[in-house]
Amino acid sequence: MADMTGDWEKDLVKSISSSRKVTKAKDPKKRQWEYKDSPNYRVFEFSPSRKLDRNTTYSISGTESQIIFQSSLIKALHDILGNRLGYTIDFNTWFTDFSLEFKYNPLDNTPRFIPGENTVITFWGRTREERPAFEWIEPTSNEPKDSDNQLNYIVIKFWKNRKQRNDFTIVTGTQSEVRMQLINLMTATTNTDNSKPGYSEYISNKGKPKVVLYFLEKLEDVEDGYQQIEARLSFRLSNLSEKWDNPDTQNLTLTDIEQLALRIKNEFCTPTPYKFKKGKITVSYRDKKRGMESYSYFYTKQDGIALYQKICNVAQIQYEPKFCKVTESEDVVNAYPTIPSNENVLGEQVKSERIRPVGDVHFFNSLLFLSSLTKPIPLFNPYDGLIDINSFNVNTYKQ
């Protein structure tokens, strides 16, 4: 077997010279020639990569020049596909980079970012001593021996935390598949309260019950030529499931819906509809683990904080300042002019649409959206009052 990892051209010529010789006695075109003048072909076994192909070889034949030409094409194809598909990536080097959350170059240990004086580096939310680790099961090392089984995949033992030796996972597949599985295992990890989140912690609230609160400017306050200012903020009931066949979550009941509507009434319409002033400052609150991912525009930061505190009370979760973020333009006047310039529309001068207009909006409605229903369930509004659970019929919202 010719190993093409070194000076493959020299090895190839050496292999050709020692290959067995086959004399062609018959010709498909029935051409006649003396036996001593019959064309001679050499045949030998070829492997583009002993490391990847293990004991698998391929036979090529022809004259010496043809063999060199064929093998060079095969080697080139191997290199092209290997680089594009990732088969030629050294797994040990890649895993070192992976265990450092790709923050440090594993070859020279230089950071891929500019650290500050007080920067605390974590790897997947853990210290360096607690970063991921692996051990080979099959092959027994990264350099397979001839005695290794001829598997077309690898098997490894994987630790998310190398210090917790009893907590491991068996991962198998091609090297490309294993690399993807390891990334998925780490990015799907829910970080503990004592760890810092990594680059890619993923939490999805898609399909969970959604509550939407609506706020609207009073008609008598609307300036001529402009639309009513409105605001919509929403959150998910992350711990409840509308479908009662989900063993991992608590069932959403009619009692839950009634209590939810009552909390909305107490927070946003007792004794009068709650109002806040919209403006040009963005205030957001993002706690996806508890179903909160919302933002709106406010006149002051305090307006935004006060509203999110009320929403957290409705959702029955603790408001935490670390999840609240405030963003403000350094040039508010030019970024969001209070009186925008006119526009020429169909030959007439009309007022341009206002960007982040300033004005008071009042609570006027709340709806519950369930993925299984085609219509939202009204919870509470100042005009119709609370939902009547006694007359509730789920089929009404499926039409």
pLDDT tens per residue across span 171-183:
988 888 888 889 8
Distance between CA 399 and CA 390 in Å, rounded? 20
Nearest C-alpha neighbor of 398 from the set 190, 223, 211, 242 = 242
Taken as a whole, the chain contains a residue count of 399
The predicted-structure confidence for 204-262, as pLDDT tens digits, reads as follows 677 789 999 999 999 999 888 788 999 999 999 988 888 766 666 678 899 999 999 99
Tens-digit pLDDT profile for residues 33-80? 554 555 566 677 777 766 666 567 777 777 777 777 877 888 777 777
Q: Which pLDDT score, from 0 to 100, does residue 126 have?
A: 82
- C-alpha distance from residue 278 to each of 235, 275, 307, 319, 321 (Å): 19, 10, 11, 21, 20
Cβ burial of 301 (10 Å; 0-12, 13-18, 19+) is middle
Q: Is the dihedral of CA 238, 240, 243, 247 positive or negative?
A: positive
- Measured N-to-C along each axis, helices 254-268 and 301-315 cross at an angle, to the nearest 10 degrees, of 150
**Who has greater pLDDT, 192 or 211?**
211
In angstroms, what is the C-alpha Rg of the chain? 34
More confident site: 11 or 70 = 70
User: Who has greater pLDDT, 219 or 343?
Assistant: 219
- Is there a contact between 394 and 373 (Cβ–Cβ < 8 Å)? yes
Q: Which residue has the higher pLDDT, 207 or 325?
A: 325
- Tell me: pLDDT of 371 over 60: yes
**Which residue matches tokens 């004794």?**
271
Say if residue 144's pLDDT is above 60: no
Strand ordering across the sheet containing 292-298: 292-298, 281-287, 324-327
Contacts of 163 (CB under 8 A, 6+ apart): 129, 130
Contact of 297 with 282, CB cutoff 8 Å: yes
Judged by average pLDDT, the poorest of 191-200, 215-224, 262-271, 363-372 is 191-200
User: What is the Cα–Cα distance from 116 to 72, expressed in whole angstroms?
Assistant: 50
Amino acid identity, position 351 = K
